Amino acid sequence: MTQGVLLINLGTPRSTETSDVRRYLREFLSDPRVIDTGPLARWLLVNLVIAPFRAPKTAALYRNIWSETGSPLLVNGLALRTALAAKLGSDWRVELGMRYGEPSLAQALDRLAAARVSRIVALPLFPQWAASSSGSAEARLAELAAARPGLPPIETLPEFYDAPGFVEAVAEVTRPRLVAFRADHVLFSYHGLPERHMRASDPTGAHCLASPSCCDAVVEANAHCYRAQCHATTRALAAALELPPDAWSIGFQSRLGREPWIKPYTDLLLPDLAKAGVKRLAVLCPSFVADCLETLEEVGIRLSQQWRGLGGDALELVPCVNAHPGFVRFLAGRVR
């Protein structure tokens, strides 16, 4: 009996046309787990401010990284789907579904149902758990499953922020890059989130962001804190790469708006690193498993330009695991 695997990632516009980017932004930012204000305030913000004015700028950014085969996030996702299907063998059917855009979660579930799989293993491709990514995907999956009573049972696998197989896969990609690049320093840059999301994840209400050492270990109070899990990923990778304590830093990128986001901010770390004498900076983005706008454009282009403007010699963006054989092995092991 064939079993199903549903790979879940965030999503991407259909094209770099402003209309397609605007449609994608509307779907993405209308999610109450992404912009968690009241419904009316969210609708006004998305439809009267963000979608009209941000879409043309975002479309231009996508054009900087779009390849002949399409969106890097989608191209890398489809390559991972193909590689995982080959690794698992003919007893498994693997599909890719995006939380926003296409191929959608609904389309992926319908394809698995049509293949008459006996069960579905859902695998969100978010190493660290966050309400606005993993939580949103899980909620949408439950909603879609409830509307499809004939669907087979679904088991959703948890986050894998410090799983040895994931850490080693990232290390396998990174080691030769660091050697070839001769990096002076390694910066681990994660997607940022508002600070209030961290506090909301703390059942005690007294641990997250209450002290500079709140993320030094994952304990019961911060077990679902995104920032704590990012720090745990960093510690595991620094150990796997045998980096001395003074040879790496952690930062958070992609912040929006005026409210406080989790710190330190990646772009504000660069001047300090330059002043400390770092010349050759390698950047890893371990909150992403597939290269996308936030890695290729935000880090590979804009952050690199900032670094050179500060007097740095070069910035090396280490690729995500994408469809690397080590990552495929890790996912196949989890699924089995």
Give pLDDT, residue 257.
Answer: 80
> Is the preceding omega at residue 72 within 30 degrees of 0, hence cis?
no
Q: Residue 187: name the closest of 88, 317, 46 by CA.
A: 317
**Dihedral angle, C-alpha 227, 231, 237, 242, nearest 10 °:** 160
Burial level of 38, CB count in 10 A (0-12/13-18/19+)? exposed
Please, which residues bridge with residue 7 across strands? 96, 123
Q: According to the model, what pLDDT value does residue 37 have?
A: 87
What the block records as the tokens of 139 is 């909620």
> Which residue intervals of 93-247 are DSSP H helices?
105-114, 136-146, 164-181, 195-200, 226-240
Nearest in space to 29 (alpha carbons), one of 257, 201, 202, 199: 257
Contact status, residue 319 vs residue 291, Cβ threshold 8 Å: yes
Sheet-wide strand order for 248-253: 248-253, 185-191, 280-284, 314-317
250 phi and psi angles, rounded to 5 deg: -125, 140
Contact 94, 8 (CB under 8 A): no
H or E element at residue 254: none
Low pLDDT (below 70) residues in the chain: none
Question: Containing H/E element for 301?
Answer: none
Per-residue pLDDT at 142: 96
Q: pTM for this structure?
A: 0.96
Which contiguous run of DSSP H or E holds residue 315?
A: strand 314-317
What is the Cα–Cα distance from 254 to 58, expressed in whole angstroms?
13
Phi, psi torsion values for 156, nearest 5 degrees? -100, 125
- Amino acid at position 22, single letter: R
pLDDT of residue 319: 98
User: Which pLDDT score, from 0 to 100, does residue 256 have?
Assistant: 84
